[in-house]
């Protein structure tokens, strides 16, 4: 059975972002995909300090929720990251969490499916959406898409429940993501995983 982890980056766990993620969970359940929802918003999560400890030890030097989720993500087939929009960006707590999660993970995220979900009253969604997708694209992760950008609109959960197109987008996103995780698992059995090269590291130490 495929498994997906859903991250709620909003400190208001039952509001707009949570409503969008709940809509996806309903579809994942219908598709036979195991889900785990993890609340990140509202936690005290420090940012990366570039100490390099994780490169030797396989986890972050700060032993908190980042390492807990990292261990779970290693066994999962995909991850959904949801965030409210703060100044046209994901909120700071979530950024700190994702920076440390993706940098400290020493296992290969190649071919795990990623999806970003954003919520806003009005504007800034596409800019925040773009930031979140960068974590997936640098990690060799296929990005799940929907029938519109993965966003919902509203100031409260009740507003989001009236956003018929937004909720439809969440349902289609979950269906597409379930299909991708299952298809990748089948292809892995039939063809194996694509090879990823990691030998080249361009830094221009001699200024050339």
Which residues partner with 78 through β-bridges?
4, 113
Tokens of 115: 């999806």
- DSSP strand pairing (3-8 vs 78-86): parallel
pLDDT the model gives residue 207:
57
Q: Which CATH class is domain 3-191?
A: alpha beta
3 state DSSP class of 23: helix
Confidence at residue 204, expressed as pLDDT on a 0 to 100 scale = 80
Contact call for residues 61 and 100 (beta carbons, < 8 A) = no
Does the global pTM surpass 0.85? yes
Below-70 pLDDT ranges, the chain: 206-208
pLDDT tens track for 104-136? 998 899 999 999 999 999 999 999 999 999 999
> Within 10 A of 150 (CB to CB), how many other CB atoms are there?
27
d(CA 40, CA 183): 29
- Give the integer Cα–Cα distance in Å for 40 and 107: 22
pLDDT score for 201? 85
Handedness of CA 94, 99, 104, 107 (dihedral sign): positive
Please give the pLDDT value at position 208: 54
């Amino acid at each position: 059975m495929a498994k997906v982890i859903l991250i709620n980056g909003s400190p208001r766990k039952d509001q707009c972002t949570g409503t969008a993620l709940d809509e996806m969970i309903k579809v994942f359940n219908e598709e036979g995909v195991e889900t785990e929802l993890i609340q990140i918003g509202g936690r005290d999560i420090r940012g990366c300090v570039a100490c390099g400890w994780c490169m030797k030890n396989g986890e972050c030097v700060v032993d908190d929720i980042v390492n807990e989720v990292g261990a779970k993500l290693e066994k999962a087939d995909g991850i959904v990251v949801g965030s409210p929009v703060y100044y046209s960006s994901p909120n700071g707590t979530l950024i700190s969490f994702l920076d440390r999660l993706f940098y400290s993970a020493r296992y290969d995220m190649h071919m795990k499916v990623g999806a970003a979900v954003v919520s806003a009253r009005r504007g800034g969604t596409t800019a925040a959406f773009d930031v979140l997708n960068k974590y997936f694209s640098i990690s060799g992760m296929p990005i799940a898409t929907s029938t519109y950008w993965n966003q919902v609109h509203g100031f409260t959960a009740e507003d989001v429940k009236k956003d018929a197109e937004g909720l439809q987008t969440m349902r289609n996103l979950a269906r597409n993501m379930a299909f991708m995780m299952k298809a990748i698992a089948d292809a892995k059995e039939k063809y194996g995983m694509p090879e990823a090269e990691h030998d080249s590291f361009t830094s221009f130490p001699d200024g050339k």
